Amino acid sequence: MIPYGRQNINQADMDAVLEVLRSDFLTQGPLVPAFEDAVAVYCGAKHAVAANSATSALHIACLALGLGKGDIAWTSPITFVASANCVQYCGAMIDFVDIDPNTYNMSVDYLAEKLVDAEKAGILPKVVIPVHLCGQPCEMAQIHSLSLQYGFKIIEDASHALGGRYKGKPIGNGLYSDITVFSFHPVKIITTGEGGIAVTNNASLAEKMSMLRSHGITYDNASMQQQEPEEIWNYQQIDLGFNYRMSDIHAALGLSQMQRLDTFVAQRHTIASKYNLMLSGLPVVIPFQHRNGYSSFHLYVICLKLNAINKTHRQVFETLHLAGIGINVHYIPVHMQPYYQKFGFKRGDFPVAEDYFSKAISLPIFPDLTYKQQDIVIGTLNRIFD
Ligand SMILES: *Cc1c(COP(=O)(O)O)cnc(C)c1O
């Protein structure tokens, strides 16, 4: 089976992990801060807080921005469930903004319309979570100016988008948002096994997140209460946090992978260009690329022109699977998940997202995908549409 995504691990990665295993610190050693620095420097952000997953990072990002009971947050319906779940963890309410039919990202037009209505109804969101689907950045400048007008905070779910750029600058630089989160799950751009990171330019948000990542404990005298002067060994729990820490074993892998980040993204672009070329005659829509963005191409999504073919989405999907191609659909709209239907969301609520879902297929794309494997994918698609 050709998977839709797969990690690339080399000898340097393995050596880096082994070195940690032989060292004094498996966790809470020097490699997590070193990895955080590497990601922050790459993105051009001031601070980075690593966590054991992007889901954890999204959770502490929401908490750091003060999201809680009675608050509302909005995200895209076309995302992994974690972008919405992080809001539920905080006891806040999630709602969705339909997608742009070209980029499949949260639509700025729908966002603007929904904000007008929400303001009238007195139910403005506290946080908006745009998701850079497939690695293509959302239209952050517009979302940012809406945030100034309506007073919401922004968390970029950039789980797909490490190594991508917006208006020529790295995603994660914080010019248009409060916090940006990346994932290091093995199918993502670089991996730590499991892992995620939150980057920000705001020192107090960074401090809050690093405290929440480790039980709500601070070692910083300035943050402590009723400090006895002689208690220099002191630490205090000043909030209810979690154990969301990344280990040094994971960070070593991440730090080693960072050295190949740009190569990985370039390899993904080469694969995408070949698909663009070879699929151009077929009844599929190839990924639209906004001129403001440079995608990391975490995913290569085609949309079937269902009116131009005599097969269903399901038939195409099944034929590819039978040919040994591990294609996927990213994603089932979150509002259609049984868990979210309990909150009153239903089919028809976000028609553009639902239409996308009815025709989208993610083709294999990852650095080690061979020309031969890609030819099998392209050949199978040609046979299906023959
Ligand atoms: C992968 C992913 C996450 C969650 O990442 P983990 O590191 O697996 O927790 C969140 N949002 C999106 C859009 C993702 O693709």
Q: What is the pLDDT of residues 276-313, one digit of tens each?
A: 999 999 999 999 999 999 999 999 999 999 999 999 99
User: Residues 197, 198, 200, 202: is their CA dihedral positive or negative?
Assistant: negative
Interval between CA 54 and ligand 1 midpoint (Å): 5
Give residue ranges with CB within 6 A of ligand 1. Answer: 53-55, 79-80, 82-83, 131, 157, 159-160, 183, 185, 196
Is 261-385 in the same CATH topology as 11-258?
A: no
- pLDDT tens sequence across 198-228: 999 999 999 999 999 999 999 887 888 776 6
Q: Cα(141)–Cα(156) distance, rounded to whole angstroms?
A: 12
Q: Is the pLDDT of residue 231 over 70?
A: no
Lookup: tokens for 18:
């082994």
Domains in the chain: boundaries: 11-258, 261-385
- Could you identify the atom of ligand 1 that is nearest to the CA of residue 183? 7
Beta bridge partners of 120: none
Question: Which of 85, 159, 331 to mutate for ligand 1's pocket (most ligand atoms within 8 Å of CB)?
Answer: 159
Interval between CA 72 and ligand 1 midpoint (Å): 21
**Under 8 Å CB-to-CB from 229, ≥6 apart: which residues?**
none
Taking the whole predicted model, whether its pTM rises above 0.95 is answered as yes
Could you please state the CATH topology (level 3) that the domain comprising 261-385 is classified under.
Answer: Aspartate Aminotransferase, domain 1 (3.90.1150)
DSSP H stretches of helix in 95-167: 108-121, 140-150
Contact between residue 288 and residue 303 where contact means Cβ atoms under 8 Å apart: no
What CATH number matches the domain at 11-258, 3.10.50.40, 1.10.3720.10, 3.40.640.10, 1.50.10.20?
Answer: 3.40.640.10
Interval between CA 44 and ligand 1 midpoint (Å): 22
Helix/strand/coil for 79? coil
Helix/strand/coil for 206? helix
